[in-house]
Structure 1
């Protein structure tokens, strides 16, 4: 039983070492190719920018939709403020 545990532990250690080597190898490859690293960072930045722009557009549209619904309720204080905001937004859209 003890010998089986020892063999299993040795095998597990070998697997761990191989996993560590492969990750370090990928990192070294990336560091040795600066153009690839620049390209990866550029494209990840572009994707992040599009995601932020898309999310902000969806959120902004939702807020404007809610503001238009608040105007319909004719709340005295909030209604006037919201009406002005909606008018300004619609003027900027045109």
Structure 2
């Protein structure tokens, strides 16, 4: 960024050039601010009900996404454990079989 000399301009052309550069710089700053959507953000902050509603929807969506993701992850782990349990590995197989049996009983709604 070039700093404009604070002395009086020597002629009118130099003044016009300086003002033109200043105008271009201000237009660039205005365009940058428009891209960041500061006006929409300030408007949202001035309407607390809209802000609360959007945060409520975002939180609900995150919660549902986490629930679906964890369900998929747990099902995959149980599937792998069931396959490993079927291999009849000496020590690990017994623990895996117990875990799978406990989870299946819990899914059926019974206590073990």
TM range (shorter): 0.7 to 0.9
Q: Give the alignment partner of residue 16 of structure 1, picking from 29, 52, 56.
A: 29
Match of 1:93 in 2: 107
Match of 2:84 in 1: 70
More helix by share: 1
Cα deviation, residue 87, structure 1 = 0.5
RMSD: 2.4
Runs of 4+ in 1 over 3 A off after TM superposition: 7-13
The structure with more radius of gyration: 2
Q: Which structure is richer in relative contact order (CA contacts within 8 A, separation 6 or more)?
A: 1
Q: Using the alignment, how far apart are the partners of 1:12 and 1:23 within structure 2? A: 19
Q: TM-score, normalised by structure 1?
A: 0.83
Instruction: Write the mapping of 1:44-55 to structure 2, written as runs, cut at 5 A.
Output: 44-55=58-69
Q: Which sections of structure 2, spanning at least 5 residues, go unmatched?
A: 1-19
3-state secondary structure, aligned to 2:91: helix
Q: TM-score, normalised by structure 2?
A: 0.70
Instruction: Write the mapping of 1:23-42 to structure 2, written as runs, cut at 5 A.
Output: 23-42=37-56
Cα deviation, residue 83, structure 1 = 0.5
Q: Using the alignment, how far apart are the partners of 1:9 and 1:48 within structure 2? A: 46
Q: Using the alignment, how far apart are the partners of 1:9 and 1:57 within structure 2? A: 58
Aligned residue pair count: 91
Q: Give the alignment partner of residue 83 of structure 1, picking from 70, 94, 97.
A: 97
